[in-house]
Homo-oligomer: A and B are copies of this chain.
Amino acid sequence: MKIRDAALKTELTEKTIRYYEEIGLVVPERRENGYRDFSEQDVHSLRFLARARKLGFSVDDCRQLLSLYSDRKRASKDVKNIAEAHLVEIDMKIKELSKMQDTLRHLVSTCQGNERPDCPIINDLAGKS
């Protein structure tokens, strides 16, 4: 299957698929004319990658997960470890964003938002309390 069809089947772009090949996540065959030729296997891998990326796993995590995926002797604990570490990262990001949200919401709510220059948002950024 050519790259266009692989892209349609995986909801990845052709660019992304070529990039994944470049960094060694998939290794499609090549036809005589140089065109990539994706097997069903390749498409499975790409879909796996697409899902993992959607869950926010880094490409490097994806590489490990993909390797565990094709390892029949894997220990589920290895997978779980990766997922739990990722969860911790997500938690941290949410906490950080929530802090920003709180501060900003407060500032925005106290700003008149009119034509005059007085602005608690600017004041806060300027360090004036």
Nearest-CB residue, chain B, relative to A111: B80
The size bracket of the interface on A is 35 or more
Contact residues of A: prevailing secondary structure: helix
Which residues of A are at the interface with B, using a C-beta cutoff of 8 A? 44, 47-48, 51-52, 54-56, 65, 68-69, 71-77, 79-81, 83-84, 86-87, 90-91, 93-94, 97-98, 100-101, 103-105, 107-108, 111-119, 121-122, 124-127
Beyond the given pairs A52-B125, A75-B115, A79-B121, 15 more chain A to chain B contacts, judged by CB atoms under 8 angstroms and listed by A's residue number, are A48-B125, A48-B126, A55-B103, A55-B125, A65-B125, A69-B125, A74-B122, A76-B112, A77-B114, A83-B107, A83-B111, A83-B121, A86-B104, A90-B97, A97-B97
